[in-house]
Amino acid sequence: MLDRIEGSFAGDHDAKTKIGAAVKYLLRDLRGSAHDDAVREIIDIVQGVANEPSSRQDVPDSAATPAPMGSVSYKSYVIDAFRRDTDRWRSTIRRQDGKKIRIASPPAVVDHATTGSDALTAEKAVEFAKRTIDAGGVM
């Protein structure tokens, strides 16, 4: 089945364009919390597909990266740890309500922020993110 799906795209750009169109379709006419709930559902769908074994079948077992640990809620933020490489973990920080966040350095307003240094474990990456939140690195 995966071969039929892959064959229906002209390339990566075409696939991404179709994903974008599908997201726009699903979010049409939604406002407020209904919009935010739909965005979270779309993200869950993408994460579920990305973590399916069939989506990683071309990757040898020795190179496979384990699925990211579950989301951690902290204050009004959601923290997701992800593995960049062997013993190199980072976290993304986003607001639970889906609003943009301000980062202190360099000053910017973004959908999510990624911790700036690697950690040896997912738990340490989450700890770094919590410290960043507590220190006012994201607002």
Average pLDDT over residues 30-42: 84
pLDDT at residue number 71: 87
**What is the average pLDDT value for the chain, to the nearest integer?**
80
pLDDT at residue number 8: 67
SS3 104: coil
pTM: 0.51
pLDDT > 70: what percent of the chain? 79
Helix (H) or strand (E) holding 115: none
Q: Which residue has the higher pLDDT, 11 or 33?
A: 33
**Residue ranges per domain, the chain?**
2-60, 65-134
Lowest mean pLDDT among 29-38, 52-61, 71-80: 52-61
- pLDDT > 50? residue 3: no
> How far, in Å, are 43, 86, 89, 104 from residue 66 at the CA level?
18, 11, 11, 31
Which tens digits make up the pLDDT trace of 38-55? Answer: 888 888 777 777 776 654
The pLDDT confidence band at residue 65, using thresholds 50, 70 and 90, is very low
Distance linking the first and last C-alpha atoms of the chain: 44
Average pLDDT over residues 101-107: 85
